């Protein structure tokens, strides 16, 4: 595994307040930002990288949600198309969700798992090999569980992996992406 220098990530959209260090990205979301961007015309904060060949990407995300639907996690792109999103999302004051959406054309199918609001961090791991994708999560960074598997049959350009955060309603929160590692096999 190779540790990722966070300075090498490419911004899709920068927030007003952020810090990028070699070992982490710390950012504050802005109100009315959404990953889909159809609400209020704003996009989520997003950074990405382009691995070569088969890969495994791992990241830890620490968060302190303030409002309903606050969320942060990882993204997978097939060319310019968003293929998958995996995140934790604030559902209400008592529950958060571990949420995965896989897109097929313009539509997506969703799977989720309830988690308690006392959880303040999550580890994510994405495997990609010959069109097969496996997304996993962990509470401790050692024991991972599968949350979703799917196939990307057609390549529409380079595969990109990214990190994101947003606050679709009138709130904002801080999050830190750290322990980013990438293992590639060409």
- Along the chain (186 residues), what's the average pLDDT of each consecutive run of 10 residues? 92 92 96 67 78 94 97 92 93 94 86 94 96 96 96 82 95 97 90
pLDDT at 28 (0 to 100): 96
- Tell me if 161 sits within 8 A of 49, measured CB to CB: yes
Give the three-state DSSP class for 6.
Answer: helix
Q: Is 25 helix (H, G, I), strand (E, B) or coil?
A: strand
CA distance 6 to 22: 5
Rounded to whole angstroms, the Cα distance separating 74 from 37 reads 16
| Whole-prediction pTM | 0.93
- How confident is the model at residue 37, as a pLDDT? 43
Residue 151, judged by CB atoms within 10 A of its CB (0-12, 13-18, 19+), counts as: exposed
Query: By the 8 A CB rule, do 184 and 52 touch?
Result: yes
pLDDT at 132: 94
Q: Give residue 42's pLDDT.
A: 52
Q: What is the pLDDT of residue 139?
A: 97
Which pLDDT does position 43 carry in this prediction?
74
């Amino acid at each position: 595994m190779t540790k990722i220098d966070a300075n090498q990530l490419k911004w899709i959209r920068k927030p007003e307040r952020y810090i990028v260090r070699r070992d982490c990205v710390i950012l504050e979301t802005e109100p009315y930002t959404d990953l889909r961007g159809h609400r209020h015309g704003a996009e989520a904060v997003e950074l990405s990288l382009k691995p070569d060949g088969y890969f495994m990407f791992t990241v830890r995300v620490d968060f302190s949600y303030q409002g309903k639907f606050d969320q942060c996690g990882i993204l997978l792109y097939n060319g310019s198309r968003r293929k998958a999103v995996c995140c934790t999302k604030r559902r209400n004051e008592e529950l958060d969700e571990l949420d995965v959406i896989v897109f097929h054309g313009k539509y997506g199918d969703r799977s989720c798992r309830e988690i308690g609001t006392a959880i303040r961090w999550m580890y994510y791991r994405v495997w990609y090999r010959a069109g097969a994708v496996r997304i996993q999560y962990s509470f401790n960074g050692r024991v991972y569980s599968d949350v979703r598997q799917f196939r990307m049959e057609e390549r529409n350009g380079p595969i990109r992996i990214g990190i994101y955060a947003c606050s679709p309603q009138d709130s904002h929160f801080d999050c830190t992406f750290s322990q980013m590692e990438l293992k590639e096999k060409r």
